[in-house]
Structure 1
């Protein structure tokens, strides 16, 4: 009973930590809320299109360069005061600084939520990480709807509300966030050990040392990560290893009964938990992707000839070296470099549209009026605000759908030694890239507000899908112990891509506005070239991911063959 009470208490605490992580993530995705108030802030501070995009880039500097609660409270409260005119002519610099605070606080909250679930849920890591990641994507929709219904014409009050709501949520969730030690299925192991003793008594009528039964040298071909275990159900998948063991048993009749016993034990090992199978699969994936010589492990292969099977001196050893993470990993590992490049090429165009959705909506909406450059009426401003909130909500909603669905599907795809119908997690990245490319291509041909809905859906779905699976790939390929560091380096790619494409959008927007002799640009010409460049970037990203998929697929085949 005490053990059951302890298990229930641990389960409750783990559930509380999971919900707290989801709550933190839900209020940490507000950097994507910028388009809800960006036009109003730009008009209030009298900024050009390029200056507006420079200010907007501040949130992505903070978001991807990353207290959490304090930074977010200070960021949104500061924006509220800036909008109210507190900093006067220096408002543009203040707005940039406070958006950096917002981005840094959001990234801290995001990393806390994702890292907590990454450590606490091993068997279903994709789903456990996908839910808070989905909440992160849903954050902008949540607050955009609050803006539409509670603050339709009060931007300053809305920003102050966001500051208070985020701070209260995070401070309430902090006490529940915990890292739990991985469960040890001791009862399974004890039952398996007892079954092994019974099998030994029946087949051999002689005592076999418990350490000999459980040791890698007695039940597998080689030891360590580079060895080929015969137990754990691998004999069927490694016929060469099984044949070697059978040949050794035939050559030494005194070991035949032990071989039969071990064959029976291998079937018993199928009862091991899914978590152990997941951990074994993840370790094998790290082996084949991380090069020998110091990135994570140095592996010496086990014996291959039948004569070596039963020789303890011939068993291989695993040499553990210092883990390599961060810049050193991305400097030396080709898979890490390709992953970084693909995220750069995909995230840049996505964040360009996410940050400028308000500008695109305004350009299309005002273009249908006789005098688009004239001062809009109050009713037109309210309608424009609703349209902006709608598209922010669409981006956020489908980003959430992409994050959680791809996390779940990639978990299913990884069952069965890393493939499901031959599908690996990288192929879900390609799916995300295709959605993004379709969104950018449709954006280049959009001329009405109604057509923009498809752009928002596709870009949101592609962006969410990418960030629904990319963290899991980084964790599995390069180890969860260094996940935070490695994901931090990956996060530099969206920051660089966002800055580059936002500056391109702002420069082209201002160039078209000067051509029309207006301060603000109206019509499809304002954004068409930016979307074309975005589509080209994403197409390069698709090709990069296809090459990455080819490399990892080839590594998988060579590993199992």
Structure 2
């Protein structure tokens, strides 16, 4: 054997040959004279061809995997965008309760409800809209938004159908009528409020989880929330200019409440069905957030006392497969599994992995809920939200009667109120709140410093993020720098209403309505964004649901204060023959209280902001 042959043979590893073929098969055949047709050079050429073929197959597999990965990525992106569109459309319909002022005064004049009863209907809707939010958020986080969307469609349809026929039946028996009892209308609006919460939270949670840690998370949350505010505008305009009653002279009268409720029942039922199939959370994004949250907890040292995340040598695992792997058992080669046994083993391992991931997710979400409730700054944030949204909800629900209080008793009965039509004020609030939500969401994205997701329980070891190149050369503003001035604008609206000016110039009521819309919309846009930034998006539905309960208490409290002052002023000589109140006493003391409430909210939010800055939490 020549030296070159030895050099060539030493360059070939035995792994290049098939295990079942003898290494010297071709050489022996040539020496015996039976394989002269196949020379050593032919053998080398065949080996090279085989190597080239296997290389081509490997490259083809790599290309196919890349194409398949891109296809999956594109499909997830399409799903994310489509879910966002469906979420915005759902919010555009879900806020039908914000048009309550359109037909609220007709409950006074047509059904002969008292002001306390009208407020009881609106408060029932508000309480049922906000109190179940933590439960619905919990279901969204643990499962998917689709069941909530379907539930919202069914409950919306039933609630508005019941309200439509209760209104059509006429005044209740306790005021001399033959209609359905008052409690039927309350039950109908409890259903409407519950459905509102379901549809709104399903849509917003979908957008938050799909875009929660992107560069434009603020605007992606602000758009559906703004759509919720816009729903009252277009629905009130539709009721005013399409679904109206005709007077005897053929002119346009009040909204036809029966037809209006029937339209909402059918429309919102269809919207709920669409959301059932259209609201989807991209699973890879959710798994990524869960894993990142666990890593942050591990770095913070909060997992040291957790039995779930202790090493398996310390805690007996519930699954034998993982325990065997941990013990380092080496399988006996003689006990090799057949193909079917390997498939069953792989399926069992996959099932155990999924169970492990589910347990990890549930543990993490429950752990984050405890951290959220134990954090003092959450309570400051919720207190400010309570003091801001309560007066706002009461103002929106009682717009119709507030406008009438600014109308002199000597004013012609069929003439438009000097302070404007209720539908105009509803549209003003919808537009200004929408503008505020979009502006605060987009501007806070642009000016806010890079967010660092910190767990609030880790009070002493906050990490300030390093400035990236894109943010180092521009000024940064905290989201609280947008929230606090918005609240001050809201207080100016109530302060203007509490002054004597609106009585002398009723047109100033539009200014109050616009300021209330700006402050109210900013609060509902920035508070959920702040929650997602400070406490993360893994448990966003539950966290935001807990804070979103407080407007129910605020709306109930300030609604009762307004209705009591209104009724006392009516009984004290400010009422007219149709049961409506006129003058400053009908609303003045309530407006002063709302102004003070917003100022206290500013103080509470300032305290929360100071605490976050001390921890190094970037908001």
Q: TM-score, normalised by structure 1?
A: 0.71
Q: 2:405–2:586: 8 Å Cα contact kept in structure 1? A: yes
Please say if 1:159 is aligned against 2:159.
no
Shift of 1:10: 2.7
SS at match of 2:537: coil
CA separation in 2, counterparts of 1:507 and 1:286?
54
Deviation, structure 1 residue 155: 1.8
Matched, 1:91 2:125: no
Q: Which residue of 2 aligns with 1:264?
A: none
Call closer, same or farther: CA 1:280–1:10 in 2, change over 3 Å: closer
Alignment of 1:385-464 (within 5 A): 387-416=421-450, 421-445=475-499, 446-447=502-503, 448-464=505-521
Partner Cα separation in structure 2 for residue 404 and residue 281 of structure 1: 29
> In structure 1, how many angstroms separate the alpha carbons of the residues matched to 2:207 and 2:540?
12
1:68 matched to 2:102? The reply is no
- Per the alignment, residue 552 of structure 1 pairs with 612
How far does residue 481 in structure 1 lie from its aligned partner after superposition?
2.2
Matching residue of 1:477: 534
Aligned pair partner of 1:135 in 216, 224, 227: 227
Instruction: Give the deviation of 1:138 after TM superposition.
Output: 0.6
CA distance in 2, matches of 1:503, 1:327: 32
Encode CA deviations 1:267-289: one digit per residue, 9 max, x unaligned.
Answer: xxxxxxxx99xx9899989999x
Q: Is the 8 A contact 2:372 2:535 kept in 1?
A: no
User: How far off its partner does 1:466 sit?
Assistant: 0.6
Report what 1:341 is aligned to: 383
1:59 aligns with 2:125: yes
Q: Which consecutive unaligned segments of at least 5 residues does structure 2 have?
A: 1-66, 133-150, 174-179, 245-253, 310-360, 453-466
Shift of 1:100: 1.2
Pairwise CA distance, 1:173: 3.3
Q: 1:278-289 maps to which residues of 2 (within 5 A)?
A: none
- State whether residues 341 and 541 of structure 1, in contact with CA within 8 Å, keep that contact through their aligned partners in structure 2: yes
- Indicate if the aligned counterparts of 1:59 and 1:103 stay in contact, CA closer than 8 A: yes
Pair 1:118-2:175 in alignment? no
Question: Greater CA deviation, 489-498 or 169-178?
Answer: 169-178
Superposition deviation, residue 293 in structure 1: 9.2
Aligned counterparts of 2:129 and 2:420: Cα–Cα separation in 1:
26
**Which among 185, 197, 200 is matched to residue 107 of structure 1?**
197
Tell me the TM-score normalised to structure 2 length.
0.65
The Cα offsets for residues 367-424 of structure 1, whole Å up to 9 and x where unpaired, read as 2x42x6xxx74x33x7699700000110111111111221112222334356973522
1:398–1:457 contact (8 Å) kept in structure 2: yes
Which stretch shows the higher mean deviation, 487-496 or 532-541?
487-496
Instruction: Name the count of aligned residue pairs.
Output: 436
The C-alpha deviation readout for 1:515-559, integer Å capped at 9, x for no partner, is: 1163321123211111100000000001111111111122228x9
Using the TM superposition, name which of 88-97 and 121-130 deviates more. 88-97
5-14 vs 321-330, which moves further: 321-330
C-alpha distance in structure 1 between counterparts of 2:294 and 2:388, whole Å = 26
Query: Using the alignment, how far apart are the partners of 1:286 and 1:33 within structure 2?
Result: 48
CA RMSD of aligned residues (A): 3.3
Query: Gapped runs of 5+ residues in structure 1?
Result: 185-274, 299-319
Whether the 8 Å CA contact 1:327–1:489 is kept in 2: the answer is: no
Structure ID, larger Rg: 2
Q: Distance in 1 between matches of 2:540 and 2:438?
A: 20
Residue 553 of structure 2: aligned partner: 496
Structure 1, residues 114-164: CA drift from partner, whole Å, max 9, x if none? 100111112022111111101001110010110121023312111211221
Equivalent in the alignment of 1:467: 524
* Alpha-carbon distance in 1 for matches of 2:418, 2:260: 17
Counterpart selection for 1:28 from 90, 94, 100 = 94
Deviations 1:317-353 (CA, angstroms, capped at 9, x unpaired): xxx9855569845652111111110111111111111
Residues 456 and 294 of structure 1, relative CA distance in 2, 3 Å threshold? farther
